[in-house]
Structure 1
Amino acid sequence: MAAWSDLTVDVLGHITSFLPVPDHYRFGAVCKNWRSISKQKRHPPAPQLPWLVLEDDKETRNRKFYSLSEAKHYSLDIPELHGRYICGSSHGWLFAVDLNITGILINPFTRECYELPPFPDFSEYTYTNVTTLYDCEPWTFEEMQTIIVWKAILSHDPKERSDFTAMILFGEKNKPAFWRPGDSSWTVIHGLDYSMDDILYFKENFYVVGANSLLSVVDFQCKPKLVEVGIEIPGEIGVQGGIQKYLIDFNGHMLLLERLGHLEENGKTITDGFIVIELKLEQNCYSIWNDINGYALFLGRNACMHVDTCRLPKCKKNGIYFTHQTEFVTPVEFGFYDLGVFDMTNKTTGTFYSVEVFFPQVDSPVWITPNPW
């Protein structure tokens, strides 16, 4: 029987394809040769469930992560994330905002990083405006950094394509704006005056859904603008009782998810369930889905994602995993911990994470698929 040190590169590479991310790193720590193999893109880790990006540890300043498949926490020293608020996740990269309200795009597992230009004008969030509007004390920088950018996603993995596009929703009405490497500033997209809930890159186009369930596509020709697609969803299906809308590319189908919930007396928003709607762009119509074909969905400030529970059986079949999204109009003293999983089969909502372990006051947990190569 051959010694481990004598195994060929092909055999070792095949072994790494069965390893989850933590074991992938342990494999690379054995010796220089194994480390070289672990970094090869042709030998990526095995398919895995998303991780949760949590807040900083107050003592060590390490960023905390939670592996859903292992039900285990990891604490990683990532200086670039110290004191930064996470407002987006896409292709294994994080968008993070610091106390000066400037942002970076970073892969937390490789530490590769892009400095982002200053965000577009957010004068509606001056101390005076917010304090007057919501009858509250003046905002601190810690609070300001959580409300400037609502969500951020990428068109492509920057490791795969250098001509990727970053898209954000920012400001009081979550206006869209985009940036590409080499640009000195963000370009704000105009055209519609209502508030936006989510963004999606789908079949070479960016789409935005409004709080009113109307879908729009970003037209980049000449002066970038939003153009309504025209699919109308009756209010009794997707608007009433909704607290947030999400868009997801589900194996080539565009899905709109309506998050239903209520506000309790203590100020906490509680999720009651979801409505899943397929938007058929070519037919200009929609249909309601009663299940998601055995998959699991992961929603939040991340680019929404799905996994096949046949390949990853440690998550709930037909389950919709969701995280809370910090609402700056909700009293901070009540916390924000509306995390859970909705079972589409029996229409019940359960937990996957203990609120006693994670009781955030500012930061929102964000899903990420580890991308360590």
Structure 2
Amino acid sequence: MAGPYASSGWSDLPMDLLIWILHLLELPEALTFRAVCSSWRSASAAAGGVPYRQTPWLVSLANETLPAGDQHPRVRRELCDPAAKTELRSLLDPDRTFQVSLPRGQAVACCGASHGWLIMANELSDLVLYDPFTATLIPLPPITVFASCIEGVYGDEGKIVGYRYGCYTIGRVYDVQSPGGYFYDKVVLSGPPSTCRAVAVVIHLDGKRLSFARIGDNHWQQVSVIRISGDSFADCIYHRGRFYAVTMEGILKSWDFGGPDKPRKKTVIAEDDEDMFDDPVITRYLLSTPWGHLLQVRVFLDTLQRNNVRIEIDRLDLKSQTR
């Protein structure tokens, strides 16, 4: 029998103590933390995002084991499948994995990850921000408000039933999920959505266009178009207050969205560097280091060794505008 001084249960721990405990956990344990009870879930929401301790994790679709006797014991569902799950795999311990369910109808494709948020294309091919830690969903402007790109096709009841590419062939109608899988190349955030007027930048339309929207906006604004047939945007990143985008030919540009007016554009590296290399460049990536450097990663097709690639990493000197 409980006496007058019986101890409280784990669900009665003070909120500030629960948040302090939460910040000591890695992401998988923190995701489990929020599923314990309503008070722990409230503490997860009050913590306002991913835990401070952030060991790198890779995110991929999880393989599903089918019943015994099936000829194909492992299967990978598509993201649009309501039963699909993502698998987190630790970079420090590859055998350590953790599965997370995606919100129903909000995961036709994963288009990026920034500041603890996944950027997903939903069942209408619109972009949404999803926080797997708190299960929060925040919509971005719909796909139909990209400049001169996508036109909605509406049914008798006024619902969108398909899309046309306004910048390509007008006649063909695509189903509502198809553009979500290939229209977006990458989406990057300037900070968590709670940050004042956080900005989302998206590479889209076969890497030819760069557009942005502030969280809460109802439209996308185009900031750059590549009209050269052989070039396209390869990657985009947010680094020390500016967005940087590199093209396949090595041209590097940046944009500052901090002012009230239009984004301030700057060409950091203007020359094509393709002729510098004997091997063709397959793709490029930009990396922002914790110590403040901006790196460019080039992936080459190694012509001296069959079916091999070579990777080179350069530090970009943003002051002298060199590699």
Where on the TM-score scale, by shorter chain, does this alignment land: which range? 0.5 to 0.7
Q: Secondary structure at the match of 2:29?
A: helix
Query: How high is the TM-score relative to the length of structure 1?
Result: 0.60
2:293 is aligned with 1:253: yes
Following superposition, the deviation at residue 255 of structure 1 comes to: 0.6
The equivalent of 1:87 in structure 2 is: 111
The equivalent of 1:146 in structure 2 is: 181
The equivalent of 1:180 in structure 2 is: 214
1:12–1:142 distance in 2 versus 1, CA, 3 Å = closer
Alignment partners' CA distance in 1, 2:33 and 2:125: 38
Indicate which of 285, 288, 310 corresponds to 1:273: 310
**CA RMSD, Structure 1 to Structure 2 (Å):** 3.9
Q: Secondary structure at the match of 1:285?
A: coil
Following superposition, the deviation at residue 216 of structure 1 comes to: 0.8
1:138–1:243 distance in 2 versus 1, CA, 3 Å = farther
Following superposition, the deviation at residue 153 of structure 1 comes to: 0.5
Q: How does 1:7-46 map to 2 (within 5 A)?
A: 9=14, 14-31=20-37, 34-41=40-47, 44=51, 46=53
1:150–1:262 distance in 2 versus 1, CA, 3 Å = farther
Query: How high is the TM-score relative to the length of structure 2?
Result: 0.68
The equivalent of 2:160 in structure 1 is: none
Following superposition, the deviation at residue 91 of structure 1 comes to: 1.2
Indicate which of 251, 274, 281 corresponds to 1:242: 281
Gaps of 5+ in 2: 1-5, 63-75, 152-163
Q: Secondary structure at the match of 1:189?
A: strand
1:238–1:179 distance in 2 versus 1, CA, 3 Å = farther
The equivalent of 2:69 in structure 1 is: none
Percent of aligned positions that are identical: 24
Alignment partners' CA distance in 2, 1:26 and 1:96: 22
Q: How does 1:52-201 map to 2 (within 5 A)?
A: 52-54=59-61, 57=77, 61-69=82-90, 71-82=96-107, 84-119=108-143, 120=146, 121-122=148-149, 126=165, 142-159=177-194, 161-190=195-224, 192-194=226-228, 195-201=232-238
Alignment partners' CA distance in 1, 2:295 and 2:227: 23
Q: Is the CA contact (8 Å cut-off) linking 1:106 and 1:113 kept in structure 2?
A: yes
Alignment partners' CA distance in 2, 1:185 and 1:169: 15
Letter in 2 for 1:67: L
Q: How does 1:308-327 map to 2 (within 5 A)?
A: none
Following superposition, the deviation at residue 171 of structure 1 comes to: 1.2
Letter in 1 for 2:223: I
Following superposition, the deviation at residue 60 of structure 1 comes to: 6.5
Following superposition, the deviation at residue 244 of structure 1 comes to: 1.2
Following superposition, the deviation at residue 175 of structure 1 comes to: 1.0
> What CA deviation, in whole Å up to 9, does each residue of 1:193-213 have, x standing for no partner?
342111111121111111110
Alignment partners' CA distance in 2, 1:118 and 1:28: 30
Q: Is the CA contact (8 Å cut-off) linking 2:140 and 2:216 kept in structure 1?
A: no
1:215–1:122 distance in 2 versus 1, CA, 3 Å = same
Alignment partners' CA distance in 1, 2:190 and 2:117: 12
The equivalent of 1:205 in structure 2 is: 242
Alignment partners' CA distance in 2, 1:244 and 1:86: 19
Q: Is the CA contact (8 Å cut-off) linking 2:250 and 2:273 kept in structure 1?
A: no
Q: Is the CA contact (8 Å cut-off) linking 1:62 and 1:78 kept in structure 2?
A: no
Q: Secondary structure at the match of 2:28?
A: helix
The equivalent of 2:55 in structure 1 is: 48
Gaps of 5+ in 1: 131-136, 264-269, 287-373
Indicate which of 227, 244, 253 corresponds to 2:266: 227
Alignment partners' CA distance in 2, 1:197 and 1:156: 21
> What CA deviation, in whole Å up to 9, does each residue of 1:93-140 have, x standing for no partner?
22222454322222233232222223313369849958xxxxxx9976
Following superposition, the deviation at residue 150 of structure 1 comes to: 0.9
Number of aligned residue pairs: give it.
Answer: 271
Higher Rg: 2
Alignment partners' CA distance in 2, 1:260 and 1:174: 21
Q: Is the CA contact (8 Å cut-off) linking 2:150 and 2:167 kept in structure 1?
A: no
> What CA deviation, in whole Å up to 9, does each residue of 1:190-238 have, x standing for no partner?
3653421111111211111111101112265755474321365743656
The equivalent of 2:155 in structure 1 is: none
Alignment partners' CA distance in 1, 2:37 and 2:109: 36
Moved more, 121-130 or 102-111: 121-130
Alignment partners' CA distance in 1, 2:37 and 2:18: 12
RCO greater where, 1 or 2, for CA within 8 Å and sep 6 or more?
Answer: 1
Alignment partners' CA distance in 2, 1:28 and 1:108: 11
